[in-house]
């Protein structure tokens, strides 16, 4: 698999030219030639926990925006694309989900989408960083709509991997709402971790996660996909563009026993009507989208997945961006 080209860093860097109080600039490229540039309306919060730096901006184009360690996580404008694509296919393909688990997702967007499913009885959310939860409750209500206060939600502040390794509970669906495999998050993308996830799913259970920006970082997507496939034989993948990320993101839904790749597309619309309180209230996903999204994979993404995997991600040798796409971020 080809490595990124060795292209010299451009002499003009927007991060060094534009005033930081007025613009948020994110370097997204291994060659330092792609930036996300967003104009700031108001700087609402900056803090640092023992795990990461956290910033909340109000922006003109995307509304309120959560940034962790100088990386955009979510915005009010387009969070629906990410969260609805991550959550609803998972719950709609599962046989009869009653109890589900979210690892990460401290902004509350994932559990807010889950609460739209009237048959769910309990949502367990395990988030490592309490500061993310506290800030989300104060500044991101437009996104999570107070979902943390719903009686069906059980919030646990703990390392997600440690929780799964120690719990005896089993879940009908497990959603891994994670940052990219950078630093500590890399431990949540390994074969050993995926085996633990599989052991905590009920019969027919489904796991979902994103496997990064496949156009910019095809090697990472390839490794995550094949590592997941080494544990979960049934996989369904789709791609969605997230405007604030400035890129296409790959989403994966996987199962040990449920053939998600052969899921009847027409069943999505039926299950939406039966399981979701108000399907018309969804901003991004509908029956027609779900019928086509999982069955249509862009040719370039097919080529990415067809490439020989460099290796699987393991605890001894976890995949990281730094390994395949090293670059310096000022």
> How is domain 79-324 classified at the architecture level of CATH?
3-Layer(aba) Sandwich (3.40)
Distance CA 77, CA 86 (A): 16
Question: What pLDDT band is residue 161 in, cutting at 50, 70 and 90?
Answer: very high
Say how far apart CA 107 and CA 87 lie, in whole Å. Answer: 14
- pLDDT averaged over every residue in the chain: 91
Place of tokens 């997507």: 221
* Spans of all domains in the chain: 16-75, 79-324
Q: Which residues pair with 68 in a beta bridge?
A: 54, 71
Contact 198, 256 (CB under 8 A): yes
* C-alpha span between 281 and 114 (Å, rounded): 13
Per-residue pLDDT of 281-321, as tens digits, reads 899 998 887 877 666 788 999 999 999 999 999 999 999 88
Residue 187 to residue 316: CA distance in whole angstroms: 10
Label residue 216 by pLDDT band (50, 70, 90): confident
Looking at the annotation, which residues are catalytic? 177
What's the burial of 318, exposed, middle or buried (CB within 10 Å: 0-12/13-18/19+)?
Answer: buried
Same topology between domain 16-75 and domain 79-324? no
Residue 35, pLDDT score = 80
Alpha-carbon span 65 to 36, nearest angstrom: 13
Neighbours of 72 (CB within 10 A): 21
Q: How far is CA 299 from the centre of its chain?
A: 22
pLDDT confidence band for 28 (50 / 70 / 90): confident
pLDDT tens, residue by residue, 95-139:
999 999 999 999 999 999 999 999 999 999 999 999 999 999 999
Say if residue 21's pLDDT is above 80: no
Q: Are 126 and 245 in contact (CB under 8 A)?
A: no
Q: pLDDT band at 33, cuts 50/70/90?
A: low
Q: 163-212 pLDDT, tens per residue? A: 999 999 999 999 999 999 987 889 999 999 999 999 999 999 999 999 99
CATH code, residues 16-75? 2.30.140.10
Residue 329 binned pLDDT confidence (cut-offs 50, 70, 90)? very low
* Helix (H), strand (E) at residue 58: strand 53-59
> How far apart, in Å, are the Cα atoms of 138 and each of 48, 53, 108, 135, 144?
16, 17, 11, 5, 10
pTM: 0.92
pLDDT of 58-92, one tens digit each? Answer: 999 999 999 999 889 999 999 999 999 999 999 99
């Amino acid at each position: 698999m080809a490595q990124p080209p060795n292209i010299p860093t451009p002499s003009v860097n927007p991060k060094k030219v534009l005033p930081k109080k007025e613009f948020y600039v994110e370097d997204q490229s291994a060659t330092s030639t792609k930036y996300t540039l967003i104009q700031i309306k108001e700087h609402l919060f900056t803090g640092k926990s023992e795990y990461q730096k956290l910033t909340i901006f109000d922006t003109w184009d995307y509304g309120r925006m959560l940034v962790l360690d100088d990386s955009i996580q979510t915005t009010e404008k387009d969070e629906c694309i990410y969260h609805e694509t991550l959550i609803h296919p998972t719950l709609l393909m599962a046989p009869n989900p009653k109890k589900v688990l979210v690892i990460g997702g401290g902004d509350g967007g994932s559990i807010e989408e889950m609460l739209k499913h009237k048959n769910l009885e309990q949502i367990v959310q395990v988030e490592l960083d309490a500061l993310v939860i506290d800030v989300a409750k104060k500044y991101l209500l437009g996104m999570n709509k107070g979902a943390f206060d719903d009686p069906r939600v059980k919030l646990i502040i703990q390392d997600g991997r440690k929780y799964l390794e120690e719990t005896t509970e089993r879940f009908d669906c497990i959603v891994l709402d994670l940052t990219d495999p950078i630093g500590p998050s890399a431990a949540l993308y390994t074969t050993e971790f995926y085996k633990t996830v599989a052991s905590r799913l009920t019969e027919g259970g489904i796991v979902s996660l994103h496997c990064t920006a496949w156009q910019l970082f095809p090697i990472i997507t390839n490794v995550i996909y094949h590592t997941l496939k080494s544990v979960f034989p049934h996989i369904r993948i789709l791609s969605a563009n997230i405007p604030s990320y400035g890129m296409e993101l790959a989403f994966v839904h996987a199962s040990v026993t449920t053939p998600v790749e052969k899921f009847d597309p027409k069943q999505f619309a039926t299950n939406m009507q039966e399981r979701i309180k108000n399907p018309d209230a969804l901003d991004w996903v509908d029956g027609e989208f779900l019928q086509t999204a999982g069955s249509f994979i862009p040719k370039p993404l097919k080529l990415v997945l067809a490439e020989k995997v460099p290796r699987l991600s393991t605890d001894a040798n976890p995949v990281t961006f730094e390994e395949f796409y090293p670059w310096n971020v000022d």
